[in-house]
Amino acid sequence: MSVLVFVEGLNGEIKKSSLEAASYGSQVAQTLGTTATAVAIGDVNEEALSKLGEQGISKVLYDGDSRLNQFVADAYVKVIAKAAQQESAKVLVFSNSNIGASIGAKLAVRLNGSLATNVTALPSINGADFTVTRGVFSGKAFADVALTADVKIIAVKKNSYEVSANGGTTATVEKISADLAESDFALLPKETMMQDLDGGVLLPEAEIVVSGGRGLKGPENWHLVEDLAKVLGAATACSKPVSDMDWRPHHEHVGQTGITVSPNLYIAIGISGAIQHLAGVNSSKVIVVINKDPEAPFFKAADYGIVGDANEIVPKIIEAARALDK
């Protein structure tokens, strides 16, 4: 029972969430007494692929077809399925990302497999029993799910598994081709709205996110969010009411009905913390809340909280961050 890990690239490098998936997959392979192979698609630096050996990957199958530089679900599924067939893979692992969500169900149908998304821990394997724990109800509960099909597909929740770094190990990189036809590109994305208007940090992939809400009082105060994000190298985001009032574009809306983020640091400025917003950010490793209302529900979910006026507090944080950067 070999393990196949799908890794995603961004600007030629491997996404951190995919490094987590690779580390997870290699640990599953070790438990099963087999090896882990990765499959990569599109614009990814081959040097970065070879470094996946540090995460326990022994081999990488790479399809560099330029048509795959842009995500196309049907074409990606065909390549991954070809890799799974070539490696006789019975366990497939990928990140529970936007791309992962798009291809997971398609792969399960194509390979007649069991699918578990939002997985938060390594599987419990006892003979034929293969059980995983996944987050449910927007992360408020967990469920143990048995994967009973011959092929088991696991989407690992971001920030739920640490990236391993063995060091000094190099994965071999081999070409793979799924003989893609024009029909595989029949459905092309017309536009993607994950990147901010200035071409900055991709919100779903950001390690640090600075987000603002109605507590900022108006779009004229949004410079507080942007200035802090700039000094921290962060992406900017907003609550749903802010996007509904057209203070900010809708692709910056974070929450249950918007984008889900899993940064190492999430800073919420003037956001009360409604349950719908929390559902989109509760995978963040550290949450910092700045709000002048001491009863704001967000403080209950925060790791650190500051009660006060954002117009007074945020400039001081920016000044301190700039001093550390010198």
Domain boundaries, the chain: 2-185, 203-325
Say yes or no to pLDDT of 198 above 60. no
| Annotated binding-site members | 214, 270-277, 291
Backbone angles phi, psi at 251, to 5 degrees: -75, 0
Per-residue pLDDT tens for 108-146?
Answer: 999 999 999 999 999 999 988 999 999 888 777 899 999
Report the pLDDT averaged over residues 165-194: 81
Say yes or no to pLDDT of 106 above 90. yes
Mean of the per-residue pLDDT values for the chain? 91
CATH placement of domain 203-325: 3.40.50.1220
Judge whether 123 and 129 are in contact, CB under 8 Å. no
Say yes or no to pLDDT of 201 above 80. no
Gap between the Cα atoms of 183 and 305, Å rounded: 52
Report the pLDDT averaged over residues 304-311: 96
Res 167: pLDDT: 65
- Percent of the chain topping pLDDT 70: 95
- Tell me the pLDDT band of 215, cut-offs 50, 70 and 90: very high
- Tell me the pLDDT band of 101, cut-offs 50, 70 and 90: confident
- Tell me the pLDDT band of 299, cut-offs 50, 70 and 90: very high
Gap between the Cα atoms of 113 and 110, Å rounded: 8
- Tell me the pLDDT band of 190, cut-offs 50, 70 and 90: low
Res 192: pLDDT: 58
Domains 2-185 and 203-325 equal at CATH topology level: yes
Res 195: pLDDT: 47
Q: Please report which helix (H) or strand (E) contains residue 243, including its range.
A: helix 240-244
Show the CA angle centred on residue 176, arms to residues 173 and 179, nearest 5°.
165
Judge whether 14 and 47 are in contact, CB under 8 Å. no
Give the class (CATH, top level) of 2-185: alpha beta
Say yes or no to pLDDT of 197 above 50. no
Gap between the Cα atoms of 62 and 82, Å rounded: 11
Q: Which pTM does this prediction carry?
A: 0.85
| Annotated binding-site members for FAD | 214, 270-277, 291
Residues 6+ apart with CB under 8 A from 109: none
Say yes or no to pLDDT of 105 above 90. yes
Residue 283, classified by CB atoms within 10 Å of its CB into exposed (0-12), middle (13-18) or buried (19+), is: buried
Per-residue pLDDT tens for 35-94?
Answer: 999 999 998 999 999 999 999 999 999 999 989 988 999 999 999 999 999 999 999 999
Res 90: pLDDT: 96
Gap between the Cα atoms of 123 and 129, Å rounded: 10
- Tell me the pLDDT band of 326, cut-offs 50, 70 and 90: low
